[in-house]
């Protein structure tokens, strides 16, 4: 599938706000023994917000590839960059994004576990269940509406 910008946005919003939200709710409730709090919910929303901007860049990069595709290997690289970007903003630059701001719930290790689980669940869902639930999703450039 060669995703369009609208398809990338729709897929990112759908999967992150469903699959990602389920995992995030486990972290917000302190299920894993981590500091409970809404910081993980806020971080998920920033991942979505910044990701919408990154998708614009990914479409531009994709246009320079000979097949104009975005293979799974590039998805993994993009995931690493997006996670590092959030870490740079919150941890290194110490920017106080609303809801984060090095709050008591922010811990780099817990963020990495949370981000990794959310991203892995979204990736697996996009590579498997999306093709079953929305059979025409692949042929519409990732658009499901």
- pLDDT tens profile 96-118: 777 665 555 567 888 899 999 99
Domain boundaries, the chain: 5-140
Nearest-angstrom CA–CA distance, 122 and 103: 26
List the one residue out of 75, 55, 47, 54 whose CA is nearest residue 7: 55
* Average pLDDT over every residue of 20-48: 81
Q: What is the pLDDT of residues 47-64, one digit of tens each?
A: 999 999 999 998 888 888
pLDDT of amino acid 103: 54
pLDDT of amino acid 79: 93
CA 110 to chain centre: 16
User: How confident is the prediction for the chain on average, in pLDDT?
Assistant: 83
Q: pTM (2 decimals)?
A: 0.85
Nearest-angstrom CA–CA distance, 39 and 43: 6
pLDDT of amino acid 73: 86
* Average pLDDT over every residue of 87-96: 77
pLDDT of amino acid 1: 60
Q: Between 121 and 141, where is the model more confident?
A: 121
pLDDT of amino acid 115: 94
Angle at the Cα of 2 from the Cα atoms of 132 and 5, rounded to 5 degrees? 100
């Amino acid at each position: 599938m060669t995703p369009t910008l609208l398809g990338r946005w729709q897929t990112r919003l759908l999967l992150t706000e469903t699959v990602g939200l389920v995992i995030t709710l486990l972290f917000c409730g302190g299920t894993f023994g981590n500091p409970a709090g809404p910081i993980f919910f806020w971080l998920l929303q920033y991942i979505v917000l910044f990701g919408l901007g990154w998708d614009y860049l990914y479409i531009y990069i994709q246009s320079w590839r000979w097949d104009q595709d975005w293979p799974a290997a590039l998805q993994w690289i993009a995931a690493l960059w997006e996670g590092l970007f959030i870490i740079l903003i919150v941890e290194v630059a110490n920017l106080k994004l609303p809801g984060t701001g090095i709050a008591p719930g922010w811990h780099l290790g817990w963020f990495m576990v949370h981000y990794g689980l959310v991203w892995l669940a979204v990736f697996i869902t996009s590579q498997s269940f999306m093709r079953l639930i929305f059979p025409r999703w692949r042929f519409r450039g990732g658009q499901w509406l």
